[in-house]
Amino acid sequence: MQILQDKKIVLGISGGIAAYKTPELVRRLKEQGADVRVVMTEGAKAFITPLTLQAVSGNQVADSLLDTQAELAMGHIELAKWADIIIIAPATADIVARIACGMANDLLSTLCLATTAPIAITPAMNQQMWHAQATQDNIAKLTERGCLIWGPGSGEQACGDIGLGRMLEVNDIVTLSSDFFADKYLTHQHWVITAGPTREAIDPVRYISNHSSGKMGYAIAHAALRAGAKVTLITGPVAISAPTGCELIHVSSAEEMHQQALKFAPHCSTFVACAAVADYRVAKIATQKIKKSSEAMQLELVRNHDIVADVASLKHKPFMVGFAAETQNVEHYARGKLMRKNLDLIAANDVAKSGQGFNSDNNALTLFSAIDKTEIPLASKQIVANHLVSLINQHFLAKQDS
Ligand code: PMT
């Protein structure tokens, strides 16, 4: 069943240019099974018509506190009680300020005051208005009261400015909505996850690295977050965005990743080593760009610390999950690493197969413990990660019980 199945969502639309994206947002929420009722401010109607929203939501749009007909159908108090969540998208500086002050001078602000449902605010405004102290104070006040603040994103704005203040993309809002309702089975757990490649410098302009995109590790971070864990993501250089809500630690070399892993691991419940860490680094990094001087050249390499093995040898070691990226004899090599590195579990992927592994959007894993193995079939990395996180938790709980 989809996580948003039968969830009752009030979508509050206020008067910003991003309102033009809301019919798509309604469609996507409904595709996920949600029942969506739209409430519009007067300003919103300058950007998009109630008729459009009525057509896509399949429900009458509410836009007035003082409309006797609308009050007969589903009155504002009834609507406030009906909602499982109120999502305000776009949320202008004005509606943010009015909700923060507890005003009830239109239908949307009144609903926010009359509801016990959680309120998610997806800000959308000019970057200067977002940074204004008044807005920041209002956002701080709403956060303190338990409102969810989704975004804003950064980038080019309708007014031509560049900066923070764009409404999150529709996909991101739908993802955050289903994350909100997801089963929070990892509450009170802290996961530290390594992801992406490392870069081992040769000289100031060159390095040794690999094809890891970070997609697998980031998907695991997202899956753990949506299940309610606190997540620290230690990441090598990648070109993708981290999931909202994790503590993000950027590193470049294996040595930096090693340092950060040893700093955070002693305080976590579960450590997942998904990073593709360079086994070797250059013995002596040239301080100046190396010039072509002969037909051949040699680099002396020295072994890097084994990060996951060093974390597993801590006195208070967390539940340890490693990865094995293999091109042959997958089970044999994976089981060898499981034992040698003193891990609880190892997730093996066959990176010789096309359409999975490094830099692909999909993956397939086999999860080995000392005594059993479980296949996670080929699927998007997010689906694989959701499955993996749930399996890791089952093994974690079983170890605690034993
Ligand atoms: O990032 P993507 O493009 O999404 O690709 C995902 C992935 C293929 C990188 C991922 O699924 C994966 O397999 N990650 C582990 C890659 C790897 O380095 O595997 P390994 O078999 O060489 O290492 C075994 C384990 O030891 C891994 O958990 C690794 O993080 C860890 N290790 C390795 C070397 C080292 N110096 N320190 C380590 O901690």
User: Are residues 196 and 172 part of one domain?
Assistant: no
User: Are residues 394 and 289 part of one domain?
Assistant: yes
| pLDDT range class, residue 382, cuts 50, 70, 90 | very high
User: Are residues 232 and 377 part of one domain?
Assistant: yes
pLDDT number for residue 315:
94
Percent of the chain past pLDDT 90, that is, above it, reads 91
User: Does residue 79 form part of some domain?
Assistant: yes
d(C-alpha 385, C-alpha 235), whole Å: 17
368 pLDDT higher than 90? yes
Whether the CB of 304 sits within 6 Å of ligand 1? yes
Percent of the chain past pLDDT 70, that is, above it, reads 99
Ligand 1 atom closest to the CA of 323, numbered from 1? 28
23 pLDDT higher than 80? yes
User: Are residues 77 and 207 part of one domain?
Assistant: no
User: Are residues 159 and 16 part of one domain?
Assistant: yes
User: Are residues 254 and 129 part of one domain?
Assistant: no
**Amino acid code (one letter) for 20:** Y
* Long-range pairs of 173-177 with CB within 8 A, sequence gap ≥ 24: 173/25, 173/87, 173/89, 173/122, 174/25, 174/28, 174/29, 174/32, 176/120, 176/148, 176/150, 176/244, 177/4, 177/7, 177/9, 177/29, 177/32, 177/34, 177/85, 177/87, 177/120
User: Are residues 124 and 68 part of one domain?
Assistant: yes
d(C-alpha 143, C-alpha 102), whole Å: 14
Whether the CB of 274 sits within 6 Å of ligand 1? yes
Q: Provide mean pLDDT across the span 392-401.
A: 96
375 pLDDT higher than 90? yes
pLDDT number for residue 75:
79
- Distance from the alpha carbon of residue 242 to the mean position of ligand 1, in angstroms: 18
| pLDDT range class, residue 10, cuts 50, 70, 90 | very high
Q: Provide mean pLDDT across the span 376-392.
A: 96
Whether the CB of 357 sits within 6 Å of ligand 1? yes
Whether the CB of 391 sits within 6 Å of ligand 1? no
The residue segments making up the domain with residue 388 are 190-401
Our count of domains for the chain comes to 2
- Distance from the alpha carbon of residue 144 to the mean position of ligand 1, in angstroms: 39
Q: Classify residue 188 as left (phi > 0), alpha (psi -120 to 50) or beta.
A: left
- Distance from the alpha carbon of residue 81 to the mean position of ligand 1, in angstroms: 49
pLDDT number for residue 206:
97
Residue among 269, 259, 221, 243 at smallest CA distance from 393: 269
145 pLDDT higher than 90? yes
pLDDT number for residue 334:
98
User: Are residues 151 and 248 part of one domain?
Assistant: no
pLDDT number for residue 293:
86
pLDDT number for residue 157:
82
Q: Which residues are within 8 A (CB) of 231 and not within 5 positions of it... i.e. 6 or more apart?
A: 190, 191, 192, 193, 221, 224, 225, 243, 245, 246, 247
Whether the CB of 327 sits within 6 Å of ligand 1? no
pLDDT number for residue 199:
98
User: Are residues 217 and 139 part of one domain?
Assistant: no
| pLDDT range class, residue 155, cuts 50, 70, 90 | confident
pLDDT number for residue 282:
98
Q: Which of the listed residues 140, 159, 181 is the one where a domain comes to its end? A: 181
Residue among 49, 115, 42 at smallest CA distance from 76: 115
235 pLDDT higher than 80? yes
Report the mean per-residue pLDDT for the chain.
Answer: 95
Q: Which of the listed residues 164, 181, 198 is the one where a domain comes to its end? A: 181
User: Does residue 270 form part of some domain?
Assistant: yes
Q: Provide mean pLDDT across the span 45-61.
A: 97
User: Does residue 3 form part of some domain?
Assistant: no
122 pLDDT higher than 80? yes
> Would you say the C-alpha torsion 4, 115, 17, 131 has a positive or negative sign?
negative
Q: Return the SS3 of 173.
A: helix
Q: Which of the listed residues 181, 203, 220 is the one where a domain comes to its end? A: 181
30 pLDDT higher than 90? yes
d(C-alpha 131, C-alpha 244), whole Å: 20
d(C-alpha 321, C-alpha 193), whole Å: 9
Q: Using DSSP bridges, classify how beta strands 85-91 and 119-123 pair: parallel, antiparallel or unpaired.
A: parallel
Q: Provide mean pLDDT across the span 78-100.
A: 97
User: Are residues 262 and 120 part of one domain?
Assistant: no
User: Are residues 227 and 125 part of one domain?
Assistant: no
* Long-range pairs of 250-255 with CB within 8 A, sequence gap ≥ 24: 251/198, 252/198, 252/199, 253/198, 253/199, 253/200, 253/201, 253/278, 253/281, 254/198, 254/200, 254/278, 254/281, 254/304, 254/305, 254/307, 255/281, 255/304, 255/305
Q: What is the CATH number of the domain that holds 117?
A: 3.40.50.1950
User: Are residues 378 and 253 part of one domain?
Assistant: yes
Q: What's the pTM value of the predicted model, to 2 decimals?
A: 0.84
d(C-alpha 322, C-alpha 349), whole Å: 11
What amino acid positions are annotated as catalytic residues? 159
Q: Provide mean pLDDT across the span 250-261.
A: 98
Q: Classify residue 154 as left (phi > 0), alpha (psi -120 to 50) or beta.
A: beta
Count the neighbouring beta carbons within 10 Å of the beta carbon of residue 345: 24
d(C-alpha 162, C-alpha 155), whole Å: 5
Length of the chain: 402
Query: pLDDT digit string (tens) for 170-214?
Result: 999 999 999 999 999 999 999 999 999 999 999 999 999 999 999
User: Does residue 2 form part of some domain?
Assistant: no
393 pLDDT higher than 90? yes
Q: Which of 11-15, 26-30, 242-246, 362-366 has the lowest mean pLDDT?
A: 242-246
Burial of 57 (0-12, 13-18, 19+ CB in 10 A): buried
**Amino acid code (one letter) for 224:** A
pLDDT number for residue 224:
97
pLDDT number for residue 57:
97
